[in-house]
A and B are shown apart, each in its own frame.
Chain A
Amino acid sequence: MLQYYVTDTCSVRIHFVLLISRQGKVRLTKWYSPYSQKERTKVIRELSGMILSRGPKLCNFIEWRGLKVVYKRYASLYFCMCVDTEDNELETLEIIHHYVEILDRYFGNVCELDLIFNFHKAYYILDEVLIAGELQESSKKSVARVIAAQDTLIDNAKEQASSLSNMIAQATK
């Protein structure tokens, strides 16, 4: 019954990221190690049960199936990351905080609703913070800039394309 929790051989540092509301509803999940859909459901159920029942003063780490889950609560949302046991828990806690700060900066006073309705944006931002289970060293500013560039670029993409083709059309006339 335990074998499917055995992590894959490659050394992903962060195995998954979960955002769970206080009611245990899933707000975001990102899996860096392979887990089947069934396992995912099981993991989420198990972990949300454990995390939500923990008191406020206790430490933010849980040892779980040979791994470690670091979580932090922000208002009504729990941000959880699962790392290896040898990893530095305080650092992981700061990675969570780093992500939350970037979210906050992007959404401007982020709230749970922002994440509910814009979960795909939260995913994009997460992709700029973590890649393949590793933290990408990046300043908050540069992440914000990339995301903004993507947003604006996308908005402009059409106009730009059309204006370019216009120019080409004019030049070739």
Chain B
Amino acid sequence: MSSQGGWGSSKEFLDLVKSIGEAKSKAEEERIVAAEIEMLKRRIVEPDVPRKKMKEYIIRLVYVEMLGHDASFGYIQAVKMTHDDNLLLKRSGYLAVTLFLNEDHDLIILIVNTIQKDLKSDNYLVCCAALTAVCKLLNEETIPAVLPQVVELLAHPKELVRKKAVMALHRFHQRSPSSVSHLIPKFRQILCDKDPSVMSAALCALFDLVTADANAYRNLTTSFVSILKQVVEHRLSKLFDYHRTPAPFIQIKILKILALLGAGEKHTSENMYSVLAEVLKRSDAASNIGNAILYECICTITTIHASPRLLEVAAEITSRFLKSENHNYKYMGIDALGRVIKINPDFAEQHQLAVIDCLEDPDDTLKRKTLDLLYKMTKSSNVEVIVEHMISYMRTLNDAHNKTELASRVIELAERFAPSNQWFIQTMNQVFELAGDLVPPKVAHDLMRLLAEGAGEDDEEADSLLRSSAVESYLHVLGEPKLPSVLLQVICWVLGEYGTADGTHSADDIIGRLCDVAESHPGDITVKGYSITAITKICAFEISAGRQVDLIPECRTFIEDLLASHSTDLQQRAYELQAILALSPETVANILPMDASCEDIEVDRNLSFLNEFVESAAANGARSYMPENERSGMSTVVTGTHEQLESSAHALRFEAYEVPKPAAPPPIAAAPAALPFPDFEEQKPESSRSLRKQLAADREPDADSLNPEIVRLRLDGVQKKWGRYSQPQSSSTSTSSLDRRGDHGSDQVTQVGGGHREAVAASSIESGPVSELRQIERKKPQPEISTEKQRLAASLFGGPTASGRFSGSGGAKVSSRPGTVVQPAEKVLPPRPSSGGSKEKASDAGISKQIAAPSIPAPVDLLDMSDDNVPRVMTTAPGNDPFKQLEGLLEPVTTSSALPVPPQTASMDLMSLYDGNPAPSATGPVTTVPDLVSIAAPSSSSGASQSSTNGFPSLMDLGDLSASPFVELTGSVQGQASSKPMSQLKKGPSRQDSLQKDAASRHVGVTPTGTNPALFQDLFG
């Protein structure tokens, strides 16, 4: 054992780890682990296993489970181990159960008792172990069992225990809010705990509470602000510094809470402005943690009621992130940009090139994030480019989750902003092709509806043009080898409805293609159903047009197949087709009229057209129809007359049953159930329509009087998304619908109004639709930055050429959303050099100049950050990895702390450092919360009295500490502890040490995965 450098495990276990480390293949590893499991299974049930040995077995079980194997056979042993009195063993037991079990496991019930006992232990380490287990293992039912003990521990003298107790309560609140609802005021009190770590634990809980209901906690804003202020001003103990940043994790937590509290609250937000400015000023932009805080600040600033000045700074930090070489910062920058442009849409423009760089970056994560951003800023002017990018990215994806998400986004954008129906159909085809069956069927229905209804205007010609082009594109798509089922359904439907409509394709052609579709998908019943129905429709159209239908042989075999199909649905459809072929043209025209898929069919719920039939049947002695609910219970009892039936329905009959008479004429004759065809599923609208119509046509001339409401495509809940009915999101200046092109220019003139770039706007007015602009751009090569990018930028962001439109639409947005915040950038912007005369007469050259403008990185005066208080770090930030710099700093810190520190003095230190602060801060303008401990000390002797400053009773009197019965014991324990030098702490990052380890590792025979055994050698050296 000594040779292994005190790794503290037996030879056996080391061998196991070693052999697994050396395993050449997964199979070999599996074999070794399987053998180990067998061995453990045998060993742990042996009688009288020494406890030390058992502890090792349990650690080995943990190891086995970590490698992904089932160790459930040993769970009970781990549970038993928690009962042990020896802390070492108990802790191992707790560790194992927290790793093995989840809160709903059956064995938990065996631990609750132990946990209860341990929470009362006077050894704080036992308490800690139990609290850690509590957080993981308890569920709604078991929480009440330990709640009193946990609450008691809130007053424990050790801050470590208090902290964990707060965390446990927080966890209880997450699990079952009702169990701790009476303790919620406690969280407020804990905020005043004199130890920052306990306070920060309370922040976790308060964050959840504020998320649930911000209003109830708005009065805490000043406390949060003052805590944050103290933290930022470095008034906490240095112990909580992280890479010289004071308690950054607390800062971030408070910033998150402030964001929640300030959202939509002007007054509350105003209270935060100064502290936010302070955080921004003090955060170290050269370190990663500093940037984490800055990013959080951006989130807060963009969430709360906006302050123009803070927004400027947020925008500046965002620019810095975007310009950084570090991918992490770029990623954060993209995210931050998304937040900033929500408030100030103009801000996107200056960063278009950075965004495009990210879009073209090989880094997948970055690319996806950028697409997220673009998705958020899609307008009708840039939808084509963005969707194109999304689709080309979709091609590279191969996992279902992402594809589904992206597909749904593309569909959403296409539905909202589609510039033309043609484009929409093509986009949809691509989505279907790429995402296939991941697309929800509703989308397919929407697409069919679009084709059936056209653009929603009375422009029949445009509609039929659209349909013909759809037919063409689908006939083309059918050539592809593998198509998803949803797309095939759409194709079949479209070909059936409109395949022969414009006369370019003969019926035989289309029928042939439809047969091919069905043939190549023998297993797909839905597609077959769609295909046979489509064939039926085409035949019907042919017949009603007076032409003779001679089915091609291919189709005949197909129908024969279906007539014998296992699926009754397919059989049904095939028989229908046969029936239709035998009918006269007039009847057929009634059954399946041309292009009637979206005609409303009136529903006659009373089935009045059957009256005549019913009456004649009744006259012939049929029984009258009985509603189903009256019929219930009677079906088994065949009785004589009606009266008897009525009476027997409600009472128990005691006399013997009569002999059944020969059945009366079937009562069903008049009931709808007598219809020869059963109802169809809703999903097959065409067939059900056809058969109903057929029936109706046979019986009554009025085809519409029978009325399946399911006949039509399901349109309920589908919004109008087309043409003039476009949603408010698509800006009013959109070039979207084709028919708007004409009056487009005048639209713009009216809207540009207050825009700050009249010249540019004018140029876009002159040149009209986007496509023309792009052509112009294409003609002018840009020297600095590749034209390609330039063009992309222009098309994505509206670019400079389109900026007139952009600001116009921005303005429209502002006016449409009264709550929108001021756009600070616009205020700061100096007047742009714009020649009024050029407004109407911008020449081509003028336009090209305007295009050239964005190629230079955003002009400095765009956002005039003249405020000196604002750290203009972005320009000075070094490009190298801040991590490295920080890590360079780490070593001295490590060595200095490697000195053995007697724990007791250190913990005193900690308190005195933290408590020493109040004196200066008490004079400050803002009363700080931890100060209350000292300020309120005199008054707190009366128990939970409210402090006058902000109403927090000080829980922790300093007197408690000395009065505590625990102190003596823990003191003695610690005395013991500190008398022994702490070997672990002594270990410094010495070279010798790692060399020894290296040697040891060679001895063990496990080569660590790298050539360098010391993880930190290269990083910290």
Binding site for B on A (CB under 8 A): 1-2, 5, 10-12, 21-23, 25-26, 28-30, 32, 34, 37, 40-41, 44, 55, 57-63, 65-66, 74-77, 88-91, 93-95, 97-98, 100-101, 104-114, 116-120, 123-124, 127, 131-132, 134-142, 144-158, 160
Contacts and interface: CB of A to CB of B under 8 A. Distances in A.
B167 A152 contact: no
B129 to A, nearest CB: 9
B978 to A, nearest CB: 9
A25 B200 CA distance: 35
A11 to B, nearest CB: 6
B394 to A, nearest CB: 15
Contacts of B102: 34
A6 to B, nearest CB: 11
A75 B1018 contact: yes
A108 B1015 contact: no
Nearest to A2: B401
A74 B1020 CA distance: 11
Interface string B76-101: 00000000001110011001001100
A90 B1008 contact: no
B292 A146 contact: no
A137 B201 contact: yes
Contacts of B974: 149
Given A90-B289, A147-B984, A111 B242 contact: no
B657 interface: no
B648 interface: no
Nearest to A105: B894
B33 to A, nearest CB: 12
A109 B1017 contact: yes
A55 B989 CA distance: 29
A148 B982 contact: yes
Interface residues of B, number: 118
A63 B1016 contact: no
Contacts of B1008: 76, 111-113, 116
B196 A137 contact: yes
A134 to B, nearest CB: 5
B984 A148 contact: yes
Nearest to B1009: A76
A59 B369 CA distance: 11
Interface in B361-389: 362-366, 368-369
B132 A119 contact: no
A153 B86 CA distance: 11
Contacts of A2: 400-401
Nearest to A148: B982
Nearest to B402: A63
A93 B242 CA distance: 13
B8 A111 contact: no
Nearest to A156: B976
Contacts of B14: 117
Interface centre among B8, B247, B292 (most CB of A within 10 A): B292
Interface string B194-214: 001100110010001001000
A168 to B, nearest CB: 14
A26 B125 contact: no
Interface stretch (B326-334, B348-356, B571-579, B830-838): B326-334
Given A108-B993, A117-B14, A157-B88, A142 B1009 contact: no
Contacts of B400: 1-2
Given A134-B170, A150-B125, A120 B95 contact: yes
Which 6 A-B residue pairs are closest in the complex by CB-CB distance? A108-B987, A76-B1010, A90-B292, A137-B200, A59-B327, A139-B239
A119 B8 CA distance: 12
A57 B330 CA distance: 12
A61 B901 CA distance: 38
Contact of A139 (B103, B208, B240): B240
Interface in B147-202: 160, 163-164, 167-168, 170-171, 174-175, 196-197, 200-201
A113 B997 contact: yes
Contact of A63 (B4, B66, B368, B1004): B368
B1013 interface: yes
Interface stretch (B248-256, B311-319, B497-505): B248-256
Given A91-B252, A157-B86, A118 B95 contact: no
B910 interface: yes
Contact of A59 (B241, B331, B989, B1000): B331
A61 B365 contact: yes
A157 B88 CA distance: 8
Nearest to B405: A66
B68 A117 contact: no
Given A136-B163, A154-B88, 4 more contacts: A58-B362, A112-B1013, A114-B997, A132-B135
A49 B769 CA distance: 47
Contacts of A91: 248-249, 252, 289, 292, 296
B903 interface: yes
B247 A152 contact: no
B890 interface: yes
B41 interface: no
Contacts of A76: 1008-1010, 1012, 1015
A59 B292 contact: no
Nearest to A65: B401
B37 interface: no
Contact of A141 (B59, B95, B897, B1009): B897
A134 B167 contact: yes
B977 A109 contact: no
B1015 A111 contact: yes
Contacts of B782: none
Interface centre among A40, A63, A94, A144 (most CB of B within 10 A): A94
Contact of B250 (A59, A105, A137, A142): A137
Contacts of A109: 987, 989-990, 993-994, 997, 1014-1017, 1020
Interface centre among B103, B989, B1018 (most CB of A within 10 A): B989
B331 A61 contact: yes
A77 B1015 CA distance: 8
Contacts of A131: 132, 135, 164, 167
A111 B994 contact: yes
A23 B239 CA distance: 37
Contacts of A74: 1015-1016, 1019
B70 interface: yes
A66 to B, nearest CB: 7
B796 interface: no
A58 B363 contact: yes
B99 A111 contact: no
Given A137-B196, A139-B239, A142-B910, A88 B296 contact: yes
Contacts of B282: none
Contacts of B871: none
Interface centre among B67, B400, B1018 (most CB of A within 10 A): B67
A3 to B, nearest CB: 11
A158 B86 CA distance: 8
Contacts of A123: 62, 95, 99
A134 B1009 contact: no
B565 interface: no
21 contacts: A11-B208, A26-B67, A29-B66, A32-B136, A58-B327, A58-B362, A59-B366, A61-B331, A74-B1019, A90-B291, A91-B249, A108-B989, A108-B990, A109-B989, A112-B1013, A117-B4, A119-B63, A124-B91, A137-B197, A148-B984, A150-B125
A108 B1018 CA distance: 14
B239 A142 contact: yes
B982 A90 contact: no
B214 to A, nearest CB: 15
Interface string B988-1009: 1110011001001100101011
Contacts of B196: 137
A92 B353 CA distance: 29
Contacts of A41: 68
B21 A141 contact: no
A89 B328 contact: yes
Contact of A136 (B68, B201, B299): B201
